[in-house]
Amino acid sequence: MTATASEKTLDIPVDVRFTAAGIPLAVRHDGRIWVVAAEPVRWFSRSDWWNTAKRAPVGVGNLVDIEHLQVQVRLTSTSALRTFELRRDPLSEQWLLAGISDAGAAAA
């Protein structure tokens, strides 16, 4: 798969390996291991759960915080950097690959 800047959200399930401190080390995508090569950026956005769910179950906890990670990754120490935008929805353990771009394009 050739990764280019995308205009739409991909929503592809990926596996993310973290350190004990919660820092991402690598992302498994498309059968390959992409190693995190720079400090990740983490932020949160809010979900409008009231538009997607009829009711909030009692005692489930946080329904609104969507966790995001932007990581620069590479396949080998000499390969070009890519920027992966990852997202994890509330109440989910699954990370989703939301977008891919060349590392230079992400800085622009």
Query: Does position 106 have pLDDT exceeding 70, yes or no?
Result: no
pLDDT digits (tens, 9 = 90+) for 45-101: 987 767 766 666 677 667 788 999 999 999 999 999 999 999 998 878 899 999 999
Residue 103 lies in a domain: yes
Residue 6 lies in a domain: no
End-to-end CA distance of the chain: 23
- Residue 40 domain boundaries: 12-107
Q: Look at the block and give the residue holding tokens 């990852």.
A: 86
Residue 102 lies in a domain: yes
Residue 46 lies in a domain: yes
Residue 83 lies in a domain: yes
Task: Measure Cα distances from 102 to 55, 58, 69, 72, 81 in Å.
Answer: 40, 43, 16, 9, 7
Q: What's the rounded Cα separation, in Å, for the pair 38 and 66?
A: 22
> Are 75 and 99 within 8 A, CB to CB?
no
pLDDT digits (tens, 9 = 90+) for 10-56: 899 999 999 999 999 999 999 999 999 999 999 999 877 677 666 66
Q: What is the DSSP letter of 50?
A: H
Domain count, the chain: 1
Residue 65 bridge partners (DSSP) = 46
Q: What's the rounded Cα separation, in Å, for the pair 48 and 55?
A: 12
The per-residue pLDDT for 89 is 87
